[in-house]
Structure 1
């Protein structure tokens, strides 16, 4: 995953030329076996080379930019471990690639800057969440978004610590906790001479160890945490939990009764209404203030405001583009109907600069834009 530091490194890089490539990728199946992901990148690079030659870029420069791209194309192990999208950024002395849970449309951009606008969904933080699938003695952890779910290896965070903190072999001990029937939502506790209360306390110890084991990992990004467990276990987990972003609703059931895609589907049934909650609140705020000086849909006003740190939230129409240039000294925006030599994407410029200045950016479908007549709307700071 790309973090803010990586994003700013990309957005601050300038060279002639800078190459940005985006392709959709598949995680598994026939497309992977037929190496379609690899062929897709190769096709994009072939087209870019042609354009670079037409623009007069010398062969040595093209070869230097292309070497790490070609190395990636030939890296068979790399193509076995893909997510939903691949982003590649290359110049003469720079190369980075990111495998991301974002379904990119195939696109490339040649300029003296990188095209980072498609990375915006990974930077808002609103669209990603974690899923903790937990039973007594069995813990699995995932990072998810609207379009993907990825297992996260946590064995180095939980099993040893669980044994140490709970004070017994929890896997063996957990066999004493039986459900009344397979997949049942109620339980009957069977201890050795202990009361039901003691057994619940032991379950709480188990969950507290999980909570403590995941604590540092969770607090790095503070994503919402959605728990998948049987109903009777969730109140015990909530009591043991110390993480401030635990989601209050549970995915009820036995996680072992479904596969990875089933876990994602069950998670989305509960979490999808909340994925765009922050964005939707900002859109409503824009509409409430639309007749005041705290909003603007004029690109000639938005870009200078971005550079001055005045933009709280920027809404950019998805799959739209506006070409031109910004003259920072004069705070003046020039527009072009079609990209000509030296023109840049003004929407890309606004997106990267807003994030750099601490604002939020959302890529929004046309029908959800607060002010549909413009491809960019800004909610200004008070």
Structure 2
């Protein structure tokens, strides 16, 4: 199981609002394999030195710089912290505080220094996490499996998860007469399946609370429809694995789940591209950075797609949204597209960090607007 800390919307909002004399954002490729984490720690140290160099050139107060660097070195020296990692690590540091998030996505290692945090890559963690949970549900057994793109799937321990349908309901069979007197057989069995599914859903709630990764159901017969009726987790995908999960290993379940997950992501992007084209005809879209900055400043962006890797240094006016581009990405300038994403997010927009090829027009960003500007 990956050790992940997916940021919640309130945590995003808190990071967006931070302003300080030095905000260091570090994204680092890591590994869940503790014996191979040394390389990541060495690279982290190199990124810290680069941040220190930029801040020295910018003339940051020496005491403030020392406090920031000391905090980052304390993190670097924390052996216990480095034992439990995922595929990437995001570190946000000021001289006063450090926040870390362990992420399932493989992000490009980088360091950004400014008066605010660089958050665009972090949006990727909640856009397309490339991880999923698989609920293997049958009358005879139930288990929850967590899958990730780069690690073997594992069975997740779920307290109070039923072992099977009959024992969960205290029955020797699911075909006996129901309390209301309805006949046994298929009708009574449907009632029992609903009771069973509700017990499974109740056991999953504490484990799934606060999570946003997709849930894929593996079940046959009537169970997929029955579970869909009682499911309380909002990220259950419509498509399911239709093979009997009793005969499948965790690895085989993950192999069957991967095309479903990829199709779900592709469907989301296709729908957004279609909506972008429609809104273009209505004058409610833009791929222009300056136009998007103005729209974000005035809360006009409904959905924003941004290139996860691109950094366009500059400044965005707090009042008007006017953009000033600069050639050098130093400790003074910050990422313009990142600032646009932060403002859009703060106004309630849906923000997706994607690869450039997935952006309409193939540029740094594409915005779908709430109204024409």
Partner of 2:329: 339
Partner of 2:78: 75
Matched, 1:375 2:364: yes
Q: 1:15 to 1:337 in 2, by over 3 A?
A: same
Shift of 1:334: 1.2
Deviations 1:7-51 (A, max 9, x none): 11111101011111001111227624xx22322222222332233
Q: TM-score, normalised by structure 1?
A: 0.79
Q: Separation in 2 of the partners of 1:341 and 1:110?
A: 5
SS at match of 1:27: coil
Q: Separation in 2 of the partners of 1:22 and 1:126?
A: 16
Q: 1:145 to 1:5 in 2, by over 3 A?
A: farther
Q: 1:152 to 1:10 in 2, by over 3 A?
A: farther
Whether contact under 8 Å (2:194, 2:227) holds in the other structure is: no
Whether contact under 8 Å (1:130, 1:143) holds in the other structure is: yes
How many residues in Structure 1 have an aligned counterpart in Structure 2?
356
Deviation larger for 6-15 or 66-75: 66-75
Deviations 1:316-366 (A, max 9, x none): 233222221122334422112333563221011011111111111223333
Matched, 1:234 2:237: no
Partner of 1:182: none
Partner of 1:314: 304
Partner of 2:15: 10
Shift of 1:263: 3.5
Shift of 1:106: 0.6
Q: TM-score, normalised by structure 2?
A: 0.81
Q: Separation in 1 of the partners of 2:334 and 2:352?
A: 20
Q: Separation in 1 of the partners of 2:289 and 2:24?
A: 25
Deviations 1:78-116 (A, max 9, x none): 222211110001001121000011111010001110000
Partner of 2:244: 253
The residue correspondences of 1:215-234 to structure 2 (distance < 5 A) are 215=205, 218=208, 220=210, 224-229=214-219, 231-232=220-221, 234=223
Residue number among 193, 200, 206 corresponding to 1:210 in the alignment: 200
Partner of 2:178: none
Q: 1:255 to 1:94 in 2, by over 3 A?
A: farther
SS at match of 2:63: helix
Residue number among 335, 350, 359 corresponding to 1:360 in the alignment: 350
Whether contact under 8 Å (2:113, 2:334) holds in the other structure is: no
Shift of 1:205: 3.6
More strand by share: 1
Deviations 1:133-173 (A, max 9, x none): 234564332455666787685533535999996236xxxx7
SS at match of 1:379: strand
Whether contact under 8 Å (1:208, 1:240) holds in the other structure is: no
Whether contact under 8 Å (1:102, 1:147) holds in the other structure is: no
Matched, 1:21 2:12: no
Q: 1:359 to 1:148 in 2, by over 3 A?
A: farther
The residue correspondences of 1:53-202 to structure 2 (distance < 5 A) are 53-124=56-127, 129-136=132-139, 138-142=141-145, 153-158=156-161, 166-167=169-170
Gaps of 5+ in 2: 1-5, 176-183
RMSD: 3.5
SS at match of 2:71: helix
SS at match of 2:223: helix
Partner of 1:184: none
Q: Separation in 1 of the partners of 2:308 and 2:225?
A: 43
Q: Separation in 1 of the partners of 2:370 and 2:80?
A: 47
Q: 1:148 to 1:45 in 2, by over 3 A?
A: same
Deviation larger for 124-133 or 143-152: 143-152
Q: Separation in 1 of the partners of 2:359 and 2:128?
A: 20
Partner of 2:290: 300
